[in-house]
Structure 1
Amino acid sequence: MKLDLALIGGKVVTPFREVKNGGVTITENKIYEVGQVSNIDISDCKNVIDVSGKIVAPGFVDLLVHGGGGYGFSDDVEKHIDVISNYFIKHGSTTMLASLHAKPWQKLLDDLSSVAKYIKDNPDSNIKGIHMEGPYLNKALKGAMNEDYLLEPAVDTFTEMYEAADGFLKMMTIAPELPNAMDVIREASFRGVVCSLGHSKATYEQIDLAIDNGATHVTHIFNAMDPLHHRHPSLLAAALLRDELKIELIADNFHVHPATMELLMKIKSHKGIVLITDSIRAGGMHDNSETQFSDQKVYYKDQKATLADGTLAGSTLTLNRAIKNIVENTGTKLTDAIRMASLNGSKVIGASRGILASGKVADIVVMNKDYEVELTVIGGKIRYNKSND
């Protein structure tokens, strides 16, 4: 077999196990072989790269990304999407959902159409769909969202968003306690949109009903939801208890304390947690910078983005740093951390990514011992090589 690329000598995380002194070979856009270097034939390979001492992992899958590199997906300029895409490729994200937030109605529809057009025009991009965070959110737990643009759920407005997204609306965050929310959850689920519960004051019973109507996911656990109460269980209790619900975790050590992350690992395990960034345009910007989110000023200092009142406004996280944080601060195994940053998110949206094995799409990340990304491969092609910076 003629091979296009071979990554040889690293610690290969599949992510079910580690293969030390391992190798991965690629032909066309797929993985051909994974295993010990001694068992892999690279005699007929165009490009052999020595990755000794490095970690070789599946490309990361990020389900909640509002922006990065100084730009957001809700910008009016399409070329900014290229900047965001490349910023996250440099940090190992080979599959992402472009996340949009509530805006004046026509501008929101325009954002959906603009991102959908970009995805269609750029099939080799790491942006594969849209996560609509809102506009059906509870104003009492709006977080950094602009409450002036939040709406009550309605099937007709959902249908407008769905059609504007032209088939690329993959996920939507919704508060199930709002009037008519169950109708929208049912309609969205029927159309193949993953309904994620968030920015919500729902009771446990309302979460039960949402699950019956198709909800399968929870947006940024602990954030924009009521805290745990022993007599009045709500979204948080349901998220921890119900196996039907996969939960998103922002592992930046700000949104969720490391001790709480360790508790999450014991309750939900690596099978039930999806690492996300929830990054906004401040990601990659210089410290002490100012930017905006949903027409509100955002201040970036000490790797933390906040509104004027101190409310956390998304994050500046990347998934390689999320892996580092959860491994170093909670004792999570590397295999489990990488699974939460790759395979789990892929399974949520049916992306068929996140595993290093023969026949799988060759989306691969190479990191050094400090979890810095040195090489990113998408569809068998090298899209980022740190040595060329």
Structure 2
Amino acid sequence: MKTLIKNVSVYHNHRFEPLELLLENGKISRMGDCQGEACDEVIDGEGKRVAPGFFDIHTHGAVGVDVNGADAEGFEKICRFFASQGTTSWLCSVLTDTEEHTMHAIRMYKEWKKLKHRGAELVGIHLEGPFLCPAYKGAMPEHLLKKPDMKLLKAYQEEAEGEVRYITVSPEVEGIVDFIPYIKSLGIQVAIGHSGAGYETARKAIRNGALGATHTGNAMKLLHQHFPAIWGAVLEDDDVYCEIICDGRHLHPGTVRFIIKIKGLNRVVAVTDSIMAAGLPDGSYKLGVNDVVVVDGDAKLASDGTRAGSTLTTGMALKNLLKFTGRSLAELIPMLTENPARLIGVYDRVGSIEPGKDADLVFLDEDCQVVRTLVKGKVCYTKDR
């Protein structure tokens, strides 16, 4: 199956260029002048901009499906909704839960892989916990938090057949910093967060291999001029990627600009941290074992009003980034594409538009609205005219 995409401006080398794309067997095979090729399908982009598909590495669900309780069809439902938002790759974030329910979520992920797909690709699992600090638990159920248990983590990874790709840990939890090299040896990238760790403890976690910071500035001890703490450590380090939730609630727009200015455009990852309420009206929902109430799009625990994830989508995150920063689309796209792919270690196949990579593409109109999404060369979403 060969598909020609013409009359588009393609995001390549961090800028938009008038290029044609030839797709073959789910991959990008050529870029440039491709109209001499015999093709099975031609897509006229009508002057739209084409960017790499978005990659959401931190999300707990959408459209009525909670990752912790999802079945295979539920995961597929999320995938199809995400494609309508420009997301072509994502990690399912399993909130701290019982061993039984965590194993169930992993098994349902494997069952999803057996389905015929028509949406975003679920490329692995993110474990948000359970090795987290109770004082900064956020929406994590405190009674399910644990001290480091590498036997349990290895069991999760074995059940996932090596596809737990990302984990959030708190550096101050006794022993976890010393286990980071082992965690990475299992093929799991490490982020630090849900933490009140001191600066030196956080720095040691980074030296031992932690490369991400989970929803930076949220559920995290903040910067003080005398005690930089974990936030100071992740902002200072040139290698750490900082997740940010750009819904206008988790971070003030000025804080978003501040983080980007300090970290640079190549070390910030826009995430949604969305829950099952994303794409749905206000109401009562679940986040793992928690009851959540959403009012005016703001998700909070029913028990104490603690903010509990978001109702954000990647498409809205991009629009908010444009509004909050005043930067160009070309500058901001890596936060939703290249940066998460590099952090998770899959940039060899997704995250940019290059020959040989998966044909995961999002078409944006003049208002940066998603109008078409392709996953592995297949059209998974087209906006109604």
Which whole-Å CA distance do the structure 1 matches of 2:116 and 2:144 have between them?
30
Q: Which residue of 1 aligns with 2:220?
A: 225
Written as runs of structure 1 = structure 2, the 5 A alignment for 1:7-86 is 7-14=5-12, 16-19=14-17, 21-35=18-32, 39-41=33-35, 44-86=38-80
> In the TM superposition, what is the alpha-carbon distance from 1:211 to its structure 2 partner?
1.8
2:364 matches 1:377: no
TM-score by length of 2: 0.93
Which whole-Å CA distance do the structure 2 matches of 1:123 and 1:366 have between them?
20
Q: Which residue of 1 aligns with 2:306?
A: 311
> In the TM superposition, what is the alpha-carbon distance from 1:263 to its structure 2 partner?
1.2
2:151 matches 1:153: no
Instruction: Please list every run of 5 or more consecutive structure 2 residues that lacks an aligned counterpart in the other structure.
Output: none
Change (3 A) 1:77 1:31: closer
- Residues 29-70 of structure 1 deviation map (CA, whole Å, 9 limit, x = unaligned): 2213334xxx44256222222222422100111111110011
Which whole-Å CA distance do the structure 1 matches of 2:54 and 2:167 have between them?
20
Change (3 A) 1:42 1:297: farther
Kindly indicate whether the alpha-carbon contact (under 8 Å) linking 2:71 and 2:108 is maintained by their aligned counterparts in 1.
no
2:256 matches 1:258: no
Written as runs of structure 1 = structure 2, the 5 A alignment for 1:160-171 is 160-171=155-166
Which whole-Å CA distance do the structure 2 matches of 1:122 and 1:141 have between them?
40
Q: Report the AA paired with residue 315 of structure 1.
A: S
Written as runs of structure 1 = structure 2, the 5 A alignment for 1:129-148 is 129-148=124-143
> In the TM superposition, what is the alpha-carbon distance from 1:85 to its structure 2 partner?
1.1
Written as runs of structure 1 = structure 2, the 5 A alignment for 1:116-127 is 116-119=110-113, 126-127=121-122
SS at match of 2:93: strand
Q: 1:329 aligns with which of 320, 324, 333?
A: 324
- Residues 251-286 of structure 1 deviation map (CA, whole Å, 9 limit, x = unaligned): 111111111111112111110101111111010111
2:280 matches 1:285: yes
Which whole-Å CA distance do the structure 2 matches of 1:200 and 1:146 have between them?
15
Cα RMSD (Å): 1.9
Bigger drift between 147-156 and 131-140 goes to 147-156
- Residues 122-156 of structure 1 deviation map (CA, whole Å, 9 limit, x = unaligned): 68860010000001111111111111211111222
Kindly indicate whether the alpha-carbon contact (under 8 Å) linking 1:195 and 1:217 is maintained by their aligned counterparts in 2.
yes
2:98 matches 1:98: no
2:291 matches 1:294: no
Q: Report the AA paired with residue 9 of structure 2.
A: K
Q: Which residue of 2 aligns with 1:109?
A: 103
Kindly indicate whether the alpha-carbon contact (under 8 Å) linking 1:15 and 1:335 is maintained by their aligned counterparts in 2.
no
Tell me the number of residue pairs that the alignment of Structure 1 and Structure 2 aligns.
Answer: 381
SS at match of 1:48: strand
Q: Which residue of 2 aligns with 1:268?
A: 263
SS at match of 1:84: helix
Which whole-Å CA distance do the structure 2 matches of 1:312 and 1:159 have between them?
31
Which whole-Å CA distance do the structure 2 matches of 1:57 and 1:191 have between them?
32
Kindly indicate whether the alpha-carbon contact (under 8 Å) linking 2:69 and 2:288 is maintained by their aligned counterparts in 1.
no
TM-score by length of 1: 0.93
Change (3 A) 1:53 1:176: same
Q: Report the AA paired with residue 158 of structure 2.
A: E
